[in-house]
Structure 1
Amino acid sequence: MKLKILPTHLRDKKRYLAFQAFSEIPLERDDVISMFTESSGNLYGACGTSQLGLWVVKVWNYPAPEKNMVRGIIRCNREEVDRARAVIPTITNFRGKRVVFQTLGISGTIRAAITNFIKLKASDD
């Protein structure tokens, strides 16, 4: 038996948070995922974290000689945007090194988040 896809009017509505992070060490997508998971678990616990519906959609690396900058997009449930935004500034260190996360903006689609907040060039895709 084939599984049926949930109709669009019954699906949870999503919002996309664009962020940037500066760190002392280079960060990868897996590092960002573990930081968000650990920080939201510390702040809200397992049940609260599951209600947020956090998901790291995409991460772009911008290596510079002095600093390691990462920009990315995370997805969360529409009703939990404020709680998801509260997780971002609580991430302050990773593997004993300092990390600073900032929210760039909130969008309803991935495309709008990329064009308005990430501001990629066509060659960076």
Structure 2
Amino acid sequence: MKLKILPPTLRGDKRYLAFEVISQVPLPRDDLIYIIWESCLKFHGECETSKFRLWVTRSWDLNSNSSNKGHFYLKGILQCNRGDEEKVRGALCLISNYKGKQLVFHTLGLAGTIKSATQKFIKPSP
């Protein structure tokens, strides 16, 4: 018997947090995911973090500019459940270092779709 897919009306609503990371070392995507999960686990615990349904949907490396002066920039979109956005933001604010190097997370904004988050916060058109 074939499994049925859950219809969209029964799925949970999602929200997308656009963020920016400034670090002293380049961050691969795997390290970025690890940092976000560890911060949420330390601040909220396993039971609460599992309800967030966190997922890094996209990330952009902005280090093509040579005038960064030792800083590495990264922007991305983080998916979470509707209603848990403020809890995730709180956990992201607590991130300050990774492997002994300083790190800063900025939340750029919140959107209902990936497209609107990208257009508003990641790649603003002139």
Aligned to 2:36: 36
Aligned position for 2:11:
11
Alignment partner of 1:83 is 2:75: no
Cα deviation for residue 52 of structure 1 reads 1.1
Scaled by the length of structure 2, what TM-score is found?
0.92
Output the amino acid matched with 2:101.
K
* Distance in 2 of aligned mates of 1:76 and 1:112: 15
Match of 2:22, SS state, is strand
Q: Report the Cα distance in structure 2 between the residues aligned to 1:2 and 1:96, rounded to whole angstroms.
A: 50
SS in 2 for 1:41: helix
1:36 & 1:91 partners in 2: Cα distance?
8
Q: What does 1:53-68 align with in structure 2 at a 5 Å threshold?
A: 53-63=53-63, 64=65, 65-66=68-69, 67-68=71-72
Give yes or no for the alignment of 1:106 onto 2:110.
yes
Question: Deviations along 1:20-41, whole A, 9 cap, x unmatched?
Answer: 0100000111111000110000
Task: Quote the Cα distance in structure 2 between the aligned partners of 1:113 and 1:11.
Answer: 21
2:121 to 111, 114, 117: 117
Q: After the TM superposition, list the runs of 4 or more consecutive aligned residues in structure 1 that deviate by more than 3 angstroms.
A: none
**Mind listing any 5+ residue stretches in structure 2 that lack a counterpart?**
none
> In structure 2, what is the equivalent of residue 94 of structure 1?
98
Identify the residue that residue 27 of structure 1 maps to in structure 2.
27
**RMSD between superposed Cα atoms in Å:** 1.2
Corresponding residue for residue 51 of structure 2:
51
The code of the aligned residue for 1:47 comes to C
* 1:120 Cα offset (Å): 6.4
Question: Percent of pairs identical after alignment?
Answer: 45
Give, as a single letter, the amino acid of the residue that structure 1 aligns with 2:106: Q
- Which residue of the partner structure matches residue 69 of structure 1? 73
How many residues are matched? 121
In 2, the alpha carbon distance for the partners of 1:76 and 1:4 equals 24
The structure where helix makes up a greater share of residues is 1
